[in-house]
Chains A and B, each alone.
Chain A
Amino acid sequence: MARLKPIAADKQQNPFPRNWGLSAMWVVVAIYLVYSVDAMGLNLDRFLSGLGHADKLLGRMFPPDFSRWELLLDGLIESLEIAVISSVVGIFFSLFIGLFAARNFMPNWISSPVRAFIALCRSFHPVIIAILFVKSVGFGALAGILTLIVATIGFIAKLFAEAIEEISFKQVEAIQATGASFVSVILFSVMPQVFSRFIGFATYQFDSNLRNSTMVGIVGAGGLGGTLFSAFQRFDYDFVAAILITIIALILFWEFLSTVVRRIF
């Protein structure tokens, strides 16, 4: 074996060389940040006067006013219905859309357009989608449900597709070798590998839909958000506080339920 050619000791390179390009980038980021704060007119005086307003608002919020609890309950029930319907329908469609988007199972001419569709669902914030649906199907819960279905597909279908792309193909091959049909292969080799992750994604998305279902009402798509928005507009800050506390309670309750659900699966 030939010997390695010796290199003079002072010619050895530092394995961690300084990256001047990267340093320059950090400097640019820092300069831009300072510039932005200045351009927005943010300073301590503005912040302190803002705190004074917040103090006044908080003062009017307490004690919270639960006297109009029937209105509150109606909004809450509608929000819950929007969240449940949109999650169930959205997750159901996402199962199939996710499978069609998985590049290891579908040829490119199927997975690429499906991926583009998912990206489209993700490209707008739910508020924008909600406005579009309110304009196209009218005020009310239907617009909210459609909005959150789109949001669910945009998020869950993508995660499902990625989970399916990460599975071990050996197990799939073994089930294919038994002569099983395509659907049976999915049921017996893909689903067992991804099911627990699917449950995780689904509970997370329901959590997100629950919060968003209280928001879509602000633009007229049904649920507690509508009640909240009109309370703001009429300066009923004590009622606003009651609504906010209800939303917190709702989310905490689901937090509790979802830990139970995860334990079951």
Chain B
Amino acid sequence: MSVAKNFLEIKGLKKEYVAGNPILKGVDFTIDAPGIIAIIGPSGTGKSTLLRCINRLIDPSQGQIIFDNADVCQANGKQLRQLRRHVGMVFQEYNLVERLTVIENVLTGRLGYMSSWQAWRRNYSQQDINTAFELLEAVGLEAHANKRADSLSGGQRQRVGIARAVMQDPHIILADEPTSSLDPKTAVEIMELLERFATEKKIPALVNMHDVKLAQRFAQRIIGMSNGYVVYDGAPEGITDEHLKQIYGGESWLD
């Protein structure tokens, strides 16, 4: 990967679920450096929609998303699947396949690289299996490899979710409110894990969150969204009460 290349470029992104009622009203930003980028903003402002547009779980209405030298918005079929496999996604509610075991869940991260026939026969390469176990060890769950995913606690499930995303060999990680269902201590641990993988793999991790303090603690850059627009984009230290007022509205909650 050349140094000059951008990881992700979003230009004029718009999305309306209902015609005439846009939720994203023209979002532009460029991700040119690895590390954690936090996207903050009130609920309903389109943070989730933005992330889901990047891997096309949602189809954008207008705009460009340049990733791996291709416009994700124009991709379809096989090309879209090949772009998706380089985008690791971490979900608020973990979205593990509950009846599969932990290690099987991690290995599903490789499905984008396998034909349906290989998937049917569970024909994972030995290298993939080794990587999956290494990742489980890295997230501290090697003892749980053969447990069913629905027997884990929330924090453990999110670790599996992160291992699955990293298993994809991603060029970017998207995390949609990864800590919102977790207690504060576990939330910090999950953020540390995301930070560690982003640093190790030298990739950016776009993390939606509503906890401003947590965002300021971990992010190299904060993108503040309000009302379908980016209203702040810069260093975490640069965020002032004025900005927060603009992002979340009102001021009684500040201090």
Indicate, yes or no, whether A interacts with B: yes
A177 an interface residue at 8 Å Cβ cutoff?
yes
From the candidates A173, A179, A187, A188, name the one contacting B81 in the complex (CB within 8 A): A179
Interface flags for A6-33 (1: CB within 8 Å of B; 0: not) read 0000000000000000000000000000
Q: CA of A175 to CA of B110 in the docked complex: distance in angstroms? A: 10
Assess whether A183 is in contact with B120, with CB atoms less than 8 Å apart.
Answer: yes
A3 an interface residue at 8 Å Cβ cutoff?
no
Q: CA of A168 to CA of B93 in the docked complex: distance in angstroms? A: 12
A192 an interface residue at 8 Å Cβ cutoff?
yes
Assess whether B97 is in contact with A171, with CB atoms less than 8 Å apart.
Answer: yes
Assess whether B108 is in contact with A175, with CB atoms less than 8 Å apart.
Answer: yes
Assess whether A192 is in contact with B97, with CB atoms less than 8 Å apart.
Answer: yes
Assess whether A173 is in contact with B57, with CB atoms less than 8 Å apart.
Answer: yes
Interface flags for B148-172 (1: CB within 8 Å of A; 0: not) read 0000000000000100100010000
Residues of chain A from 159 to 196 with CB closer than 8 A to chain B in the complex: 168, 170-171, 173-184, 187-189, 192-193, 195-196
Interface flags for B80-92 (1: CB within 8 Å of A; 0: not) read 0111111101010
Assess whether A180 is in contact with B108, with CB atoms less than 8 Å apart.
Answer: yes
B112 an interface residue at 8 Å Cβ cutoff?
yes
Q: A196: which B residues are within 8 A, CB to CB?
A: 99
Q: CA of A193 to CA of B97 in the docked complex: distance in angstroms? A: 8
| A170-B91, A183-B120 known; A178+B84 contact, CB < 8 A | yes
Q: B111: which A residues are within 8 A, CB to CB?
A: 175, 178-181, 184, 188
Minimum CB–CB distance for B233 against chain A, Å: 25
| A174-B95, A187-B119, A189-B97 known; A179+B82 contact, CB < 8 A | yes
Q: Which residue of B lies closest to A186 (CB)?
A: B116
Interface flags for B215-239 (1: CB within 8 Å of A; 0: not) read 0000000000000000000000000
B179 an interface residue at 8 Å Cβ cutoff?
no
Q: A171: which B residues are within 8 A, CB to CB?
A: 95-98
Between A and B, 16 residue pairs with Cβ closer than 8 Å are A170-B93, A170-B95, A171-B97, A173-B95, A174-B96, A175-B111, A178-B84, A179-B85, A179-B111, A179-B112, A183-B116, A184-B114, A184-B119, A188-B100, A192-B98, A193-B99
**Which 6 pairs across A and B sit closest by C-beta, in order of nearness?**
A179-B112, A179-B85, A180-B111, A183-B116, A179-B84, A174-B95
